[in-house]
Structure 1
């Protein structure tokens, strides 16, 4: 049976050779990046903000709070990202969100799991939800795909429906920090079944990109209001210089 699966995979790879989800170069197997793209990923390492994970300049104190977190603490307890949101990371995210290129999800998930290896182990994983209207248009939620991969890697339960997006908010893309916060205020709630799943639990919230943290804070606020004890956040990429204002 095992050899039959290997033969089947070999035939499929011959007919539809796996390609790097970032640059399209042929690779040995799906679920990976090519060596060049892997080497160009701007991994986030210490030093970084102890709250939101914003990367600091070399020589800064690891674990200190960045200016934004000192001015206004986010609702989540901590956030970590695997890489900086640069052109290489952007191509992966946009390919996933709008091009349906899901072959990179396992690689993204592994990098995300590595970014939280030293954080307290959560009890349950919850993805940032899409509004039903946008989900119908896109046909899938990229945050849910990443959350499922993380749940498999970390052997943790996943509740993809605990958190609901009750308002179809406009895109956050052109808004500054204050505008983003206003845009998502009250946009999320926890379902009745979700309340039972997260009550007293440490929740790991999963999203693809972190910019100002407005969406994640709104989600964390809803989760804590519904009974979660702590909320950590993990994303694949974070914007290094989020817009102010």
Structure 2
């Protein structure tokens, strides 16, 4: 333990209790998290409960292919991970970004490696002014530095202020973000023909991601992968 750790001992990123290592979690909070790994849907990353043949698609992707190429997430979005993510998203706990970037680098290594450009899901300027930071941008920036990838935080724009998606139904979420994003025409040459990795903190219904992917495809990108810190896992999710 160095002198600074003696004066200000490292604390768990979730519950705040003292830990041995900085930028980590206590054993109690760690054990409550549910990390997503194999087996999972080859396209959308939806976790399977039992071992499946490698490369298989989930039922939703068999019926309707997602707008993106592939999606991967680190954690199941549940009570344990929600507490951690809400501190990061709304509690100014930006010091957790390096920890999350490390997790995302492991979960999405293949997607990051094959991508040319990293883009965060943008916030509207009004929400950004209130929050003072875009949590998705912090994650994308950290990953771009680690993998030496092009990072374009201001290319994809949220042109219309949209209310929070938190309490809305799936249909309301779709309507809420319809037409909310765009890429200025003079910036499209930066991503035309490029493989894009879209970064966000939580994947819930897929409404926001699908709307962003629609705009990116219109700009003639080579393809879009998606990497998120957490995702909701439930049968009715739109993928």
CA 115–173 in structure 1, closer or farther in 2 if over 3 Å, else same: same
Question: Match of 1:37?
Answer: 29
Kept in 2, the 8 Å contact 1:20–1:104? The answer is no
State which of 66, 69, 81 in structure 2 corresponds to 1:77: 69
- TM-score, normalised to structure 2, is 0.90
Taking the aligned partners of 1:148 and 1:210, their CA distance within structure 2 comes to 19
Taking the aligned partners of 1:33 and 1:195, their CA distance within structure 2 comes to 41
What SS class does the counterpart of residue 237 from structure 1 fall into? strand
> Which stretch of structure 1 is more off in the superposition, 19-28 or 219-228?
19-28
Kept in 2, the 8 Å contact 1:33–1:107? The answer is no
- 1:55 is the counterpart of 2:51: no
State which of 60, 79, 89 in structure 2 corresponds to 1:87: 79
Taking the aligned partners of 2:205 and 2:227, their CA distance within structure 1 comes to 14
Kept in 2, the 8 Å contact 1:47–1:63? The answer is no
- 1:100 is the counterpart of 2:87: no
Shift of 1:56: 1.1
State which of 191, 204, 207 in structure 2 corresponds to 1:211: 204
Equivalent positions of 1:121-160 (< 5 A) are: 121-160=114-153
Q: Count residues with an aligned counterpart.
A: 237
Any gaps of 5 or more consecutive residues in structure 2? none
Runs of 4 or more above 6 Å deviation: none
Taking the aligned partners of 1:71 and 1:182, their CA distance within structure 2 comes to 22
CA 227–60 in structure 1, closer or farther in 2 if over 3 Å, else same: same
- TM-score, normalised to structure 1, is 0.88
Equivalent positions of 1:155-170 (< 5 A) are: 155-170=148-163
What SS class does the counterpart of residue 118 from structure 1 fall into? helix
Instruction: Compute the RMSD of aligned alpha carbons.
Output: 2.1
Any gaps of 5 or more consecutive residues in structure 1? 1-8
What SS class does the counterpart of residue 58 from structure 1 fall into? coil
